[in-house]
Amino acid sequence: GDSVTQMEGPVTLSEEAFLTINCTYTATGYPSLFWYVQYPGEGLQLLLKATKADDKGSNKGFEATYRKETTSFHLEKGSVQVSDSAVYFCALCTQGGSEKLVFGKGTKLTVNP
Amino acid sequence: DAGVIQSPRHEVTEMGQEVTLRCKPISGHDYLFWYRQTMMRGLELLIYFNNNVPIDDSGMPEDRFSAKMPNASFSTLKIQPSEPRDSAVYFCASSLWNSGANVLTFGAGSRLTVL
pLDDT digits 0-9 by tens, B56-93: 999 998 899 999 999 999 999 999 999 999 999 999 99
Identify the weakest region by mean pLDDT among A78-82, B46-50, B100-104: B100-104
Using an 8 Å CB-CB cutoff, list chain B residues near A32. 100-102
Work out the minimum CA distance from B93 to partner chain A, whole angstroms: 9
Chain B residue at shortest CA distance from A52: B100
Three-state DSSP at A22 gives coil
Question: Residue A96: what pLDDT?
Answer: 57
B11, B110 in Cβ contact below 8 A?
Answer: yes
Chain B residue at shortest CA distance from A32: B101
Evaluate if residue A97 carries a pLDDT over 70. no
d(C-alpha B106, C-alpha B115), whole Å: 27
Question: Residue A99: what pLDDT?
Answer: 72
Cβ <8 Å between B31 and A99: yes
Q: Which residue has the higher pLDDT, A104 or B103?
A: A104
Cβ <8 Å between B43 and A89: yes
Cβ <8 Å between A101 and B31: no
Q: Taking residues B25-30, what's their average pLDDT? A: 92
User: What angle (nearest 5°) sits at the alpha carbon of residue B61, between those of residues B74 and A86?
Assistant: 70
Question: Residue B9: what pLDDT?
Answer: 96
Work out the minimum CA distance from A51 to partner chain B, whole angstroms: 6
How are strands ordered across the β-sheet holding A75-77? A19-21, A75-77, A62-65, A56-59
The per-residue pLDDT for range A13-57, each reduced to its tens digit, is 999 999 999 999 999 888 899 999 999 888 999 999 998 899 999
3-state secondary structure B81-107: CCCHHHCEEEEEEEECCECCECCCEEC
d(C-alpha B108, C-alpha B97), whole Å: 21
Of A74, A88, A91, give the one whose Cα is nearest residue A34: A91
